[in-house]
Amino acid sequence: MSKNIAYVNNKFVNFLHATIHIEDRGLQFGDSVYEVIAFMNDNNFIDLDFHLERLKYSLKELDIKFKYKKKELITIFKKIIHSNKFINGIIYMQITRGVQNRSHAYKKNLKPTVIIYAKKTAFNTQKKIKGVNVITYEDYRWYRRDIKTTNLLPNILAEHEAHKKNAYTAILLKKNKITEGCHSNIWIIKNKKIYTHPSNTDILKGVTKKRLIYIIEEFGLELIEKSFTLKKLLNSDEVFLTSASSFVTPIIKVDSKLINKGKIGNITLRLSQLYYRSFRK
């Protein structure tokens, strides 16, 4: 099997020649869902079960008829990774509703389009963890952020603004309250208490967030799942973000305000170490 391959609708194809139909609903309407799954050392798929659980939820909420077996997906993932000779990276998997003559209303029983490929990535691990600076940006997204769809234009605009300002990403605000990042969940620490937004339709239920909550509870740290204001974030002792590709990443500057004098906090560092160890066992 040649290098640089992808998987599209039951076929392994050259990545550069991977195509879908021009009337695919994922292309025309963003009528699709996706997952990004990190892997390390070839085949250690991080939090795979959590990702597949969320994929199942997103498919159900959008009524996309796609059935899969975990073993079959793992076989596809491994073939792509080994053919491309990747060690560490991410698997991108997207499921669209399928192809149909252009119409807002979708027909029943369409055959979903399946797209899977891998990308080599360097992770922010405990051995080389670094803090990042972020900006704040208004949250213009739709009201079902709990579904992991490809409707990401507001995220793209916010992320573009962050990159213009040489920032790592953007933290999104709704009515002066923090929702989440463009592609991450946001956490703050104040007086040794850890705060994060509750998992509801205002945010995406992050897979890394779910894993970290288990870790926090296991080690007896105090977690409060409650929305918080920008002011509270700026006055916190530590701030960090979590995502499948960023793991636990410290935030040391928000807009022009330094957090913890621009240094990585001790609790954040500890959580990063514990998270990393949780899948290195």
Please tell me the chain's helix, strand, coil percentages from 3-state DSSP, rounded to the nearest 5: 30, 30, 40
CB of 135 closer than 8 Å to CB of 72: no
Question: How wide is the angle at C-alpha 208 spanned by C-alphas 88 and 117, nearest 5°?
Answer: 40
- 26 dihedral zone (left: phi>0; alpha: psi -120 to 50; beta): alpha
**Angle in degrees, CA 181, 183, 129, rounded to 5:** 85
- What backbone phi and psi angles, to 5 degrees, belong to 117? -150, 170
Q: 237: burial class by Cβ within 10 Å (0-12, 13-18, 19+)?
A: middle
Question: Does residue 36 contact residue 208 with C-beta atoms inside 8 Å?
Answer: no
Is 127 a known active-site residue? no
Task: Provide DSSP, 76-98.
Answer: HHHHHHHHHT-SSEEEEEEEE--
Selected catalytic residue, list 3, 78, 85, 148? 148
Of 199, 275, 200, 280, the closest CA to residue 240 belongs to 275
Collect all residues with Cβ–Cβ distance below 8 Å to 139 and sequence separation of at least 6. 154, 172, 173, 174, 179
Residue 253: what residue type?
Answer: K
- Supply the residues annotated as catalytic: 148
